[in-house]
Amino acid sequence: MLVTTTERIPGKEYEVIGEVFGLTTQSKNMFSDIGASLKGLVGGEIKAYTNMLEESRLKAVERLKENAKAMGADAVVMMRYDSGSIMQDMQSVVAYGTAVRFI
């Protein structure tokens, strides 16, 4: 499944099927939260949360691809990410775009 952030796919003509989403919500365990709190006192990157967001983005794109395939799509164009906190230690990530079928 081709996923692109561009509007056009060079050399391809397609018809729009519709909006497609992939969503995940992740949290870290208590030990990661304690480590993050300590790191927050001294500053710097909190790798446990960076890794959580990386994993969340990958999972969101995989779900986007699965949902696009279920719609009969060949590709997703104009893919974007959005994220937000649900609670202090939970992060939600959505990948969204337009599902298309090649002509």
The CA R_g of the chain, rounded to the nearest whole Å, is 17
Residues 2, 76: contact at Cβ < 8 Å?
yes
Instruction: State the pTM of this model.
Output: 0.81
> How far does Cα 20 stand from its chain's mean position?
12
| Chain segment 3-42, per-residue pLDDT in tens | 999 999 999 999 999 999 999 998 865 555 555 555 555 6
At CA 86, angle to CA 77 and CA 99, rounded to 5? 15
CATH homologous superfamily of domain 2-102?
Hypothetical protein apc22750. Chain B (3.30.110.70)
Determine the Cα–Cα distance for residues 39 and 28; give it in Å rounded to an integer.
15
Q: What pLDDT sits at residue 31?
A: 53
Domain ranges of the chain: 2-102
